[in-house]
Structure 1
Amino acid sequence: MSGYVGNLSAKQAEALEQLREKVKDILPQCPSQSDHFLLRWLRARNFNVQKAETMLRKHMEFRKHTNADTITTEWKPPEVIEKHLSGGMCGYDQEGSPIWYDVIGPVDPKGLMLSASKQDFIKSKIRDCEMLQKECDLQSERLGRNIDSITMIYDLEGLGMRHLWKPAIDTYTEVLTMFEDNYPEGLKRLFVIKAPKIFPVAYNLVKHFLSENTQRKIFVLGANWKEVLQRHIDPEQLPAVYGGKLTDPDGDPRCRTRIKYGGQVPRSYYVRESMNVKYENVVSISRGSSHQLEYEVLLPGSVLRWQFSTEEADIGFGVFVKARLGEWQRAAQMKEVVHSDRYNSHLVPEMGSLTCTEPGVYVLRFDNTYSFIRSKTISFTVEILHPNNQSPSKNSSSIEASGQ
């Protein structure tokens, strides 16, 4: 049985009655008291009544803490989020569910996070979820049948490494966790369109925060994505830019009055110039010396990502490739893949990435050979982002050399 109203097994029906009895003290304060509502929590916990009760009680505490009941009417995001964070509801699918669009490419994650707090981002997503739930309720009234989930379309054209900036990914995973914990069964299906080659790396960073049930609802579409969307969405409800007939009143095929497309954040919005980053390693490099970090990359398409800062003075940095792990080589004996240069990482933290097209031993080299007076202290974090189900790797070996 599906676990939905009208299609319950005897055991599922019993679980529903048990849950209703267990939460009767908080049910009047819940967004809904219907069977449809309670079944969402049961399905999310495979009809384990105790786990569903715990989840729902935690959600009610969440609603109280975030003022979720009034967030759509009494809270407004900062202007920079309103103007430069993409997304919007536009149209309905063939079953009447609202459609939400996220347009990732134009978004400036670093600019946004230097201009607003993490709490404001999360609150803006809570507001979106509450707004969409209210729209589902309105659709239920209009259509005379229960609508309690949405269709999402992720437009990934232009997705790049700047979108995988670690503070932004950390915030996004918090948003996903919030969504999974507090809006169960709110997603009907998610279509990913125009995914670039880096998509597997990006998805691998966040998929561990998604339930198996949510992952089953994600469909990565190929070149025929317009055709697939048209199977689920009538042309009159689909923006023209996505293969339908819907436009704004002025004929805009992107429907910008309903979907925000992000964009570069002007520096006038910045409230800080850099993020406070927690680094995982610290190393001291003697004057006239260099320090090499070795990372063995086995999977083509993996991304090597680094971030570092120094105390008081600059440092040289470059990335090389060599054949064997653990065998020290001079810089001139290795293949240079990221040009060595001196970075003012004592003023602004340095961050970068490299897509490793070939397996090999990649060497991150910190160069202090030009300094005959001062040693340097480097704080750094390095990760290998895999394009499959593996978690990011951080293991390395280090080699320090004098005068090299």
Structure 2
Amino acid sequence: MPFQRSDFPAGFVFGVATSSYQIEGHGFGGAGPTHWDSFAATPGNVVRAEHGARACDHYHRWEEDLDLIAGLGADVYRFSTSWARVLPEGTGQANAEGLDFYDRLVDGMLARGIKPAATLYHWELPQALADKGGWRNADMPDWFADYTHTVMSRIGDRLWSAAPINEPWCVGWLSHFDGVHAPGLRDIRATARAMHHVLVSHGRAIEVMRGLGMTNLGAVCNFEWSEPASDTPEDVAAATRYDAIYNRFFLGGLFKGEYPPEVLEGLGPHLPDGWQEDFATIRAPIDWLGVNYYTRKLIRHADGPWPNYAEAPTRLPLTQMGWEIYPEGLRDFLIRNAAEYSGDLPIHVTENGMANPDTPQMPDAARIAYLDGHLRAVQDAIATGAPVAGYYVWSLMDNYEWSLGYEKRFGLVHVDFDSLARTPKASYHALARWWRA
């Protein structure tokens, strides 16, 4: 990779990201059951019914994994805490083993000179709360606020940054409308309420963390660049609708106190009574915006009920996930989000990476090229004045890729899921040479 740190602004940070359920091993340390455990145990939901009970066993191997991050020369480690590990029933008595684990983990980062960047929720909802309706339940913001207080009262004083919820679109839409993630629903009313309650919960968590004296708090949303498959009015309208649901709904709530009309057309009748009054909470001030970006989608009109869109095929190269490689979308989001929503707030690319069916012996050239192209897109956005302040690779290591099991390998570090041996890939060594230069 032909970059140097000096090619980026002073103070720009580089890092790697993971999430708790995908690497820790949820069967260890007194963690309670999650809706992902139930989802994975249901035939047909997950490839080979694979689950996160052992995952990468980060729970026991965390020191080795932090050493890999330090060896990479990363500034920041973006990790997540598990709600069900901390509060096995979702509320009530905390699990001392869970809090102790995150205590050790944060101290381990600081001892290695790594900035801890925590995310409170990365999709593994305690089953006890899922039984009460989960994100559909109007009590979720209160439950989430209590969880936030429990975790951050323990580790918040040592965090470099924190964000409440990873990728609200996945929590709300992918899980309740598309049915691809837990709880696996296909219900428009559940979707509307989940998407709204996720944002209210975000705002409540920000309030709690501010009350604890924490700073450098942000929001992490995922984005897919959307373009019409043709210039017909129907395809243009479909792509605009997709963009509104995927990209503009959550930013609209966070920064403008409004939802796009294209989304309200479908979800509006199903939102909870008085939903407009919640924007005062949703708009709790944040210090930075996180952008997770992987791909673009070409969208065409589809007959049938709202939202009337479908994905069209592309001719561009694809990753192992079947996702189009389109670095220009990252550049365009960094520019657009600053211009239309976040203004001068620092933007961090909190996830970017590719899945590839690699082995330790492979040259890993595809991932290196992917990272190179997207880092150039970041530079292009900065050159236009976008206030980009950080870039984190997804992911440190191969891990549990949710409904796709252990097949899709996003890691800079190869994991043998039988022996759990970690082997840095060529992309790891390429980044290490650059980040440590």
Q: TM-score w.r.t. structure 1 length?
A: 0.30
Answer 1 or 2: higher relative contact order, Cα 8 Å, separation at least 6.
2
Give the TM-score normalised by the residue count of structure 2. Answer: 0.28
